[in-house]
Amino acid sequence: MSPDVRRPIDRQMLFFAFLLMAVGMVWIYSASALKGDYGHEAATAFFVRQFIAGIIGVSLMLALSQVELGVIQDNPRVLQVLYVLTILSLLAVFFFPKVNNAHRWIRLFGQSVQPSEFFKPLSVLIVSWWMVRHAEAWDERQNSIPKLLILFGILLLPLALILREPDFGTTFLILFVSMLLIFMGGAPRWIFAVVGPVLIAVGAAFVWFEPYRRARVLSFLNPEADPLGKGHQALQSLIAVGNGGAYGVGVGASMQKLHYLPEAHTDFIYAVIGEETGLIGTVLVLALFVGILWRGYRVARMVRDSYLKLCAMGLTLLLVVQALMNMSVVLSIAPNKGIPLPFISYGGTSLIISLICLGLLLSISKEAGA
């Protein structure tokens, strides 16, 4: 579709995302009170950093919303360049000191950047392009297997580096969304009967034979066994949500954020929202993500181009599945994976990548007229 006939962006999707970002700014300010060595100035310090990241992210979002994503179909060199740069950045993290026992960040100009975040939207663009580019192979048993093996090979190197950091949560998220895209892209259904159990077995092995991952799973199953150790986060998170009741204790009045709940402004910010706004607040946040899912699905359904259709579903699923993973951890439905809540949790790279995904979705929405 030529630029002169492209329609306006999906304003409802933009509205939902901006509301989520506003919620994030408020509760980063609230949840980071008395954090670390900052004392009473912590809330302002973390808020300012997140606000600056938000300005950068919104700028990138607006720029990407004007890009015609369909041109990648005919010129995949952009994906190739981004893939190589991502690999180099994922290798570079191992030359920087560990933070919280993990090599996940690069320090640039005094700021931390998390390269694994950038592979999230890139993986969607790559998988979608591959599935559409080789669409004719999915109807033939003999041709489909080599094509899928090559695709898994392309994903394997960056995923292995992310897993090595270690970051099991991000690895799982990217692999899960990629498998959904492969399924929606038309791959033979019988393949999933073979690949699914294999991936489950490999994932279980990675968890069981790595002591800290095994400890997380065991503490998830029985957090009361070690309330001051491995089960501490899960129990304190549930206490925070339970304290909130139906209506919450009031914005800024959370007790769990005062050094009881670790990572209150990042991975467990949803628990602080639950304590301060109660069931109503947590349901409203969930509803906003459901709104993004609804608008993203509508964009994917209405756009005619197969590549853009897959991209829209993949980018939407990245945001929504990650949100559900985070909420599941906070509510002790799943083991802790150290994954942030999109648009809300503190973290400049995470916020910027969430807004990049949104910008790409808004670009597709112009083609769809959604």
Please write the tens of the pLDDT for every residue from 224-247.
766 766 777 888 888 989 998 999
Kind and range of the H or E run holding 243: helix 232-244
- The residue whose two tokens read 């690949």 is 195
pTM of structure:
0.91
Instruction: State residue 72's pLDDT score.
Output: 82
Name which of 131, 173, 136 is nearest 152 in CA terms.
131
In which band, very low, low, confident or very high, does the pLDDT at 269 lie, cut at 50, 70 and 90?
A: very high
- Identify the pLDDT of residue 266: 87
What is the domain extent for residue 246?
A: 3-368
Residue-level pLDDT at 226: 67
Number of domains in the chain: 1
pLDDT at 43 (0 to 100): 63
Name the band, by pLDDT with cuts 50, 70 and 90, for residue 155. very high
Kindly state the average pLDDT of the residues 356-367: 93
107 secondary structure, DSSP code: E
Residue 329 CA from chain centroid, whole number = 14
State phi, psi for 107 to the nearest 5 degrees: -95, 115
Average pLDDT over residues 33-41: 56
Q: What is the pLDDT of residues 121-140, one digit of tens each?
A: 999 999 999 999 888 877 76
Task: Judge if the upstream peptide bond of residue 146 is cis by omega within 30 degrees of 0.
Answer: no
Quote the mean pLDDT of the chain. Answer: 87
Query: 199 Cβ partners below 8 Å, 6+ apart?
Result: 175, 179
φ/ψ region of 187 (left if φ > 0, alpha if ψ in -120 to 50, else beta) reads beta
Q: How far apart are CA 48 and CA 151, in angstroms?
A: 41
With a cut of 80, say whether residue 364 has pLDDT above it. yes
The pLDDT tens digits for 280-336 are 999 999 999 999 999 999 999 999 899 999 999 999 999 999 999 999 999 988 888
Strand partners for 112? 107
Whether residue 4 is predicted with pLDDT greater than 50 in this model: the reply is no
Confidence grade of residue 75 (pLDDT, cut at 50, 70, 90): confident
Question: If pLDDT is split at 50, 70 and 90, which confidence band does 56 have?
Answer: very high
- Report the alpha-carbon distance of residue 254 to residue 43 in Å, rounded: 14
Separation between Cα atoms, residue 315 and residue 115, nearest integer Å: 17
